[in-house]
Chain A
Amino acid sequence: MPHLDAGHNLARWLTRDASDAEDVVQDACLRALKYIDAVHGGEARAWFLTVVRHAFYDWCRRNRPAEIVDDEGHALELAVDEHAVDPEQAALRRSESRALADAVAELPLAFREVLILREFEDLSYKEIARIANIPVGTVMSRLARARSMLQRSPLLAPVRGETQGGRQ
């Protein structure tokens, strides 16, 4: 299956679990094999990532319906809840890189998926819009907010040299 690694990377970051990611990619492969002859050249990767994304959302509706948050504002509130984690505790067990990876994994789903498609798959905003079935302007705003959330993530507070409740 072409682009299996890209599909697995997306599924892994969306599900945040190795076993669940394999379930999603396996389902996506079964779906993709039915139509693979109709896909050509450069479209193939974006097409397969679209299939993986659909397989993930179907899986998510069955297994984690609460994670599908349509209201971006609500998702943003969840993301910047500074009481959700204890930065000092986090600092004890995370290296800087691990903290950054965890911060990416903690992003709300709608923001995480556009960030993964951009940063790891190096897709254009237009390609991401097609995969996620959203307008290009929404890709732009979600990426901006995803990065803003990362910069303000409480998980990165120890890395920035901040203590809980304020800067040093």
Chain B
Amino acid sequence: MNCREAQTLLSAHADGELDVLRSHALGKHLRGCAECAAAFESMLALRRRVDAEVPRRPSCRRAFARQWAPRSPLSPPGRA
């Protein structure tokens, strides 16, 4: 495996989505190539940052609950 091929597989390797053969070949390449190994570490760091720092968007559940709540005149406000 050369560096060009390795670079295209780093993202999938970080996700654990490569098949056994390609994962093995890429692992072997990374052990012998400092540049690709650094790129892989950088990829892992980016994934960690996205996971830790990028916010999940707040839920719209409350707004939907208000909008879609049953409006029967028999149900007094504040009771289920």
Contacts and interface: CB of A to CB of B under 8 A. Distances in A.
Is chain B found bound to chain A in the same assembly? yes
Contacts of A26: 64, 67
A101 B51 contact: no
B54 A151 contact: no
Interface in A1-38: 1, 4-5, 8-9, 12-13, 18, 21-22, 25-26, 29
B20 interface: no
Interface size on B, as a range, is 20 to 34
Contacts of B8: 141, 144
Interface string B26-52: 000000000000000011001101110
A100 B60 contact: no
Nearest to B65: A4
B43 A147 contact: yes
Interface size on A, as a range, is 20 to 34
A101 B54 contact: yes
Given A22-B63, A140-B17, A120 B56 contact: yes
Interface of A: 1, 4-5, 8-9, 12-13, 18, 21-22, 25-26, 29, 96-97, 100-101, 104, 115, 118-120, 124-125, 140-141, 143-144, 147-148, 150-151
Interface of B: 8, 10-12, 15, 17, 42-43, 46-47, 49-51, 53-57, 59-61, 63-64, 67
